[in-house]
Amino acid sequence: MSQRVLTTESGAPVADNQNSASAGVGGPLLIQDQHLLEKLARFNRERVPERVVHARGSGAYGHFEVTDDVTGFTHADFLDTVGKRTEVFVRFSTVADSLGGADAVRDPRGFAVKFYTREGNYDLVGNNTPVFFVKDPVKFPDFIHSQKRDPFTGRQEPDNVWDFWGHSPEATHQVTWLMGDRGIPASYRHMDGFGSHTYQWTNSKGEAYYVKYHFKTNQGIRCLSAEQAAETAGQDPASHQTDLLQAIERGVHPSWTLHVQLMPAAEAAGYRFNPFDLTKVWPHQDYPLRRVGRLVLDRNPDDIFAEVEQAAFAPNNFVPGIGPSPDKMLQGRLFAYADAQRYRLGVNHTHLAVNAPRAARADNYGRDGLMAAAGRSRYAKNYEPNSYDGPVETGRPLFAPLPVSGHTGTHEAPAHTKDDDFFQAGELYRLMTEDERKRLVANIAGGLSQVSREDVVERNLAHFHAADPEYGRRVAEAVHALRED
């Protein structure tokens, strides 16, 4: 077998990859050394802008297999037959930290699944928590700014974090999740995943259901205490990446069982709270979990940058039988996620192997832009309709229409009987054991006690009091004790 020849980007053989061309021995370097200039120029451009959120991530390939019949609720092709398998790519991530951050930190985890279906790619973008901090996308940039590094100090500031939460009572439920025992997963394999948002399923009769996704880990839930996390992050900042990589390489393939909650669309308007509010869960006694299938990860990517860093997920990537709901945060993300990738990777990022359809063919009139792919017929038109046998519309909607009424304006969501920001946070607190409550209170007090302004502290304490009087009292006592030390 002959030795492969090192070449330049244009394919010319490289004579010397150890020494730059110079003007005589020990002399200055020459601008004519194209190999040197090309290597340095490419090196300067090797990285794309990191994600503003979910920057630090890990990923793997696998498959999703249908185990239960759900054809009465959706006509999605990849869910239409028990036993059917669909290739997937899953990306896990932290939310607030940068690409260089540690894995073992107190932060929600992204849980994004790309299904390579025969009717196109379906992206399900969620977290390891069923709720989120805010319910309207207009607040999202401000929320992220409050959690990221301060523009002056260059570090995450408790004043900023708790000041925003104090002005956003709807965050109380998610704060209770984040500060509780599940706030720091031991690994990506040992946590659940949620679609978090409310989506829509439509069956072959055109009947619509609202749906929430629950991926239950088959490895069991394992989490770290704050002390364990600090030790783990110091020993191996890439602890979650290491665990996922090594488990799959050993043949220990992590898996999750997908369940859904289904609400007939007609029941949404009369439900006791807004079912499209991302800060709330649907109680299981109202809408029980229904098993759908099994997600298995069994192959590591060959190139982290090409396949994990450049993986692009967008919740607007629907397939027939699945669509959006009036969930405000979802509606905002239908634009924002895809646009973030157009900025980071370019308008043709869907041509990259990890993002391109695999069981379907992308056939449209998109042209040009950075990294535009060649290969189209010289006679192919770039407009529609046309008379030259180009792709045509189907006339078949992917999902059922959403009802609308009223006048345009910046409206609050319609009021339901139980639409307050605190009762579910209180219910979550009351579900906890006494040991879990002690750790929750200690975690909250540890951060809130560092806030410099007393009014910000009191505003947050009022939220915990509103969720549950005991919850608020214990947090207040713990904060005051720490502030007196």
CA–CA gap between residue 460 and residue 458 (Å, rounded) = 5
Phi, psi (deg, nearest 5) at residue 464:
-70, -35
Say if residues 6 and 14 touch (Cβ distance below 8 Å).
yes
- Beta-carbon contacts of 462 under 8 Å, excluding residues fewer than 6 positions away, are 472
Per annotation, catalytic residue among 121, 127, 160, 274 = 127
CA–CA gap between residue 458 and residue 166 (Å, rounded) = 8
Neighbours of 406 (CB within 10 A): 7
- Beta-carbon contacts of 37 under 8 Å, excluding residues fewer than 6 positions away, are 31
54 is catalytic: yes
Say if residues 309 and 303 touch (Cβ distance below 8 Å).
no
Task: Return the structure tokens found at 430.
Answer: 């009351």
Phi, psi (deg, nearest 5) at residue 324:
-85, 170
416 is catalytic: no
CA–CA gap between residue 331 and residue 136 (Å, rounded) = 9
Task: Return the structure tokens found at 204.
Answer: 């072959």
CA–CA gap between residue 108 and residue 278 (Å, rounded) = 14
Neighbours of 385 (CB within 10 A): 9
Per annotation, catalytic residue among 35, 54, 197, 463 = 54
Say if residues 92 and 58 touch (Cβ distance below 8 Å).
yes
Q: Does residue 438 sit in helix, strand or coil?
A: helix
Say if residues 204 and 214 touch (Cβ distance below 8 Å).
no
For the annotated catalytic residues, the residue numbers are 54, 127
